[in-house]
Amino acid sequence: MQTFNRNSYRLLSSLLMVFLASTISIPADAGIRMADGQLISTGHSSTKLLHYLGKPISRSSSHGCLNRRCSKKGKIESWIYYYDNRTWTISISGGVIIDTKWTRRNR
């Protein structure tokens, strides 16, 4: 039976970390990448979203937190789109995208 020394464990740990890091998906905060390479993400205008994806299939509005610490509250609109085999929920406040989330679309 072969035993591992300390360097072997370090190498194995490093390889495992590289593997795990490569399998983690990019957060939705990265935004929606359009076919022409344009990125629509947090901070962009809702006008840009309308230009590329048109009117959403669904809209709703509510009041909630406008930032991560919830120090600002206000009206938030949720726009739903189907794009790139995903269902996208885009949160908008004051005409600016404040959050993007997606789920895999069922076929």
Query: Which residue bears the tokens 């995208």?
Result: 97
Helix, strand or coil for residue 102?
Answer: strand
List of domains in the chain: 27-104 (3.30.1450)
pLDDT in tens, 33-76: 999 999 999 999 999 999 999 999 999 999 999 888 899 999 99
DSSP string covering 25-93: PPPGGG-EE-TTS-EE-TTSBHHHHHHHH-S-SEEEEEEEESSTT--SEEEEEEEEEEETTEEEEEEEE
Tokens of residue 83, six digits: 């794009």
Stretch 15-34: mean pLDDT, rounded? Answer: 60
The CA distance from 78 to 34, in Å, is 20
The full length of the chain comes to 107
Q: Note if the pTM is more than 0.85.
A: no
Tokens of residue 100, six digits: 């993007």
Element (H, E) at 6: helix 6-23
Judge whether residue 79 has pLDDT over 60: yes
